Amino acid sequence: MDHAAANDTLSRDEAHAAVAGLSDTDLARLLVAAQRLCAGTAYAAKELLNEAVCRVLVGDRTCRRDLPVVATLVGAMKSIAWSARVAAKTDPVALGSVGADELPGVACRERTAEEALVATANHGEQLEALEALFTDDEEAFFVVMADADGVPAEQVRRDLGMSEAAYATVRRRIRRKINKAYPKGWTT
Amino acid sequence: MSGKEDAALKLGRIADALVEDLARMPDGEFLAECQEAGLDPAALAKEARSAVADAIAKAGKQRMAAARAGAARSAARPAAGVVLLPLAEKRRIVERFAANDTGLQAKLTLAARKGEGESEVDIDSFLRALVELGVIDADGRPK
């Protein structure tokens, strides 16, 4: 890792200017990323993007000078969403034993226990529906399942005996199918 | 497939992989995929811009609140040691300072003549100001 580059970060004013200067394509890309990343959380896409931008601007997340600010914001959204999923997963006792008014901010939003249980059931259904999209495409199904299990891309390519180009083609197929089924995120 | 309790994390990993592709693809490819999916990049940008504008406003408010909290903490800190000195010593510090400030010296003289000598509260306030301005240190010594 290039420690010098990692430590060379934008000042708050520079970060503000970078955020304010995002192009329309950058912004569209960020919102689409947010729509995907709020999977398994109680965040809406705009809320997730809003939270990531806010954290960068108040200095909770730094922007490396050698990375586009879009990459920093995507990383921030990934981190926020991941924390929300883990928070919901690691506090299952609260779902059953805490009253509706007392439930702490599980999965980043305050929800009632009932809402949290419904969300958990919905996530299971969402995952099953996603898998069902690829039942007629063995390669894509394998890659999606590998993604779900956190298997690195290099290992997947090795296991499938795929070139980088072939793997990229499969990933494109996956995106097309998901974009068609869920054009505005994970709600149908 | 593992139990439902892992579904959110699995969905998250799938999302992360999708976004990894999204973040890396060139603008042209991204716009082409939007078109293919029937998405309007201009509408997406407008929605995102609104979220970003709200975040800029929210961040500004948080920074102001943090600045105010910091100022309040400074004001609440115990007074500089100089205000704990005996009154006579504090008056000497003020007079030493006034010796280099003819305007202040005139005011002090006039007030003394009128029997309206500086109260200890006024003197402490003046000394705190001198400390904050960096003219004297916390013990009353000139800097």
Higher-confidence residue: B117 or A101? B117
Res. B87: pLDDT tops 90? no
Count of H helices and E strands in chain B?
6, 0
Higher pLDDT, B117 or B2: B117
Structural contact between residues A2 and A36, judged by C-beta atoms closer than 8 angstroms? no
Output the average pLDDT for chain A.
83
Beta bridge partners of A64: A9
Per-residue pLDDT band at A2 (split at 50, 70, 90): low
Binding-face residues of B in 73-112 toward A, CB within 8 A: none
Closest CB to A54 among B17, B45, B55? B55
pLDDT number for residue A119: 67
pLDDT for residue B91 is more than 70: yes
Which of B10, B45, B56 lies nearest to residue A57, judging by beta carbons?
B56
The tokens for A15 are 């970060």
Query: Out of A64-73, A134-143, B41-50, B90-99, which region has the weakest mean confidence (pLDDT)?
Result: B90-99
Q: Quick check: B11 contacting A, CB < 8 Å?
A: yes
Q: Is the pTM for the entire model greater than 0.80? A: no
Chain B nearest-CA residue for A174: B18
Nearest C-alpha in B relative to A36: B15
> Which of the four pLDDT bands, split at 50, 70 and 90, describes residue A95?
very low
Query: Which of A117-121, A161-165, B64-68 tops mean pLDDT?
Result: A161-165
Mutate: best of B5, B9, B27, partner A, most A CBs <10 A: B9
For the cut 60, the answer to whether the pLDDT of residue A48 exceeds it is yes
Cα A153 off chain centre by: 17
- The conformation of residue B136, written as its DSSP 8-state character, comes to B
pLDDT digits (tens, 9 = 90+) for B21-76: 999 899 999 999 999 999 999 999 999 999 999 999 998 888 888 888 877 776 66
Optimal mutation site among B52, B56, B62, interface A, most CBs of chain A within 10 A:
B52
Cβ density class B111-137: b for 16+ within 10 Å, e for less: eeeeeeebeeeebbebbbebbeeeebe
- Could you tell me if B48 lies within 8 Å of chain A, comparing CB atoms? yes
Interface A–B counts its CB contacts (< 8 A) at 178
Alpha-carbon span B61 to B27, nearest angstrom: 33
Q: What is the mean pLDDT of residues A4-23?
A: 87
Please check whether residue A51 is in contact with residue A70, taking contact to mean a CB–CB distance below 8 angstroms.
no
Cα dist. A160→A36, A140, A152, A156, A157 in Å? 26, 11, 13, 6, 5
pLDDT at residue A99 in the model: 33
pLDDT for A103 beyond 80: no
Tell me which of A53-62, A115-124, B47-56, B79-88 is least confident.
A115-124
Lowest mean pLDDT among A81-85, A125-129, B66-70, B111-115: B111-115
Averaged pLDDT for residues A73-91: 89
Lowest mean pLDDT among A51-65, B2-16, B103-117: B103-117
**Which residues 6+ apart lie within 8 Å of B18 measured at CB?**
A36, A147, A174, A175, A178
| Contacts of the segment A2-10: beta carbons below 8 A, 24+ positions apart | A2/A66, A5/A64, A5/A65, A5/A66, A6/A64, A8/A64, A8/A65, A8/A66, A9/A62, A9/A63, A9/A64, A9/A65, A10/A62, A10/A63, A10/A64, A10/A65, A10/A69
The arithmetic mean of pLDDT across residues A90-115, rounded, is: 45
Most confident of A97-111, A162-176, B88-102: A162-176
ipTM: 0.82
The amino acid at A127: L
Q: What are phi and psi of A9, to 5 degrees?
A: -120, 160
